[in-house]
Structure 1
């Protein structure tokens, strides 16, 4: 009887541990976007996105923890204007030939109750890495009807960074601001 109770308790603990393990998700590139915007002389806002991106997510709902890794192909920057794209790729700004990839790697999910509040981590641009906190404007998990009801999680995240920390200082002499708003829209499918 004692052995049976021990086996039942061990099986219950194992089942709980398995349920609490983080799940792995692959970023869906068709529903994941990385964009940035910067003020243009107090008149308009310049915006661009990166068309090629990849990454993964680990998420533990019960443990309210996770990890995110997103890589951006810097040569895929797209402002909608070919000449501006070339300038963004140039050594004056992103130096995409020398530094072809930018990356965000999170180290912490911060919750307020059951609501994801922010994701903190390290952002690497032009070979330089600095901490960044992305505020979660939205976050949700759902059964994706187009993917045989596979769980999909994601949200809209934003941060304002000082671009000069990463050596992106073009236009400072002309009065362009240091602050750049970065928006990550991520959806990832459970594997």
Structure 2
């Protein structure tokens, strides 16, 4: 009897958590995933990923239950010219031929303000995985999003190129690269 009650409570808890979460994805028409490279503090290069995907299980009332997964196709980078695009997606940088996808998977989501979140997880680039922190801000009305409206947001994080074996001999940009995502999530 105790096992039945425990199983029933566990199933009820899982069902209530599933109901509290809603699944979202990128609104491709209004979302951009970009990168920024600096040199001596000034932005010297930037570009965007044309092909990306994301799934977001969001619990607005309990953000710690939320889960985020984002993938970027490394060959889809656009930085202004075919020569630069080829260099960045090439062997010494992202090595898209051998590592076609970079990914981020959240491990912990916490609220840092009324409209801001800290998303901690793991970033994998070129088969190397390290902890990665993302600061996210919701720009829209959360109550309307709970009812199904799109959710405007922006998110950003930084990583060091050498930690992932990116451009070891490249000295035209500093080691820190910023990733910025601006756009909307939709159901």
TM-score normalised to structure 1 length: 0.78
Structure 1: gaps of 5 or more residues: 1-12
Matched, 1:60 2:51: no
Say if 2:153 and 2:185, in contact at 8 Å, map to a contact too: no
Say if 1:103 and 1:123, in contact at 8 Å, map to a contact too: yes
SS of structure 1 residue aligned to 2:97:
coil
Structure 2: gaps of 5 or more residues: 1-11
**Cα distance between partner residues in 2 of 1:113 and 1:36:** 25
Question: Which residue number corresponds to residue 135 of structure 2?
Answer: 135
Question: Which residue number corresponds to residue 38 of structure 1?
Answer: 37
Q: CA deviation at 1:77?
A: 0.1
Which structure: greater strand fraction?
1
Say if 1:33 and 1:49, in contact at 8 Å, map to a contact too: yes
Cα gap change, 1:188 to 1:86, in 2 (>3 Å): same
**Cα distance between partner residues in 1 of 2:56 and 2:168:** 33
Question: Which residue number corresponds to residue 47 of structure 2?
Answer: 48
Matched, 1:164 2:162: yes
> Deviations for 1:44-89, whole angstroms, at most 9, x for unmatched residues?
5100110011111001112123111111111110001111001111
Question: Which residue number corresponds to residue 180 of structure 2?
Answer: 183
Q: Decide which moves more: 108-117 or 75-84.
A: 108-117
Say if 2:44 and 2:173, in contact at 8 Å, map to a contact too: no
Say if 2:112 and 2:118, in contact at 8 Å, map to a contact too: no
Structure with larger Rg: 1
Matched, 1:153 2:151: yes
RMSD: 2.7
**Cα distance between partner residues in 1 of 2:117 and 2:61:** 16
**Cα distance between partner residues in 1 of 2:56 and 2:74:** 21
Say if 2:119 and 2:136, in contact at 8 Å, map to a contact too: yes
The count of aligned residue pairs is: 173
Matched, 1:94 2:104: no
Q: CA deviation at 1:136?
A: 2.0
Q: Decide which moves more: 133-142 or 113-122.
A: 133-142
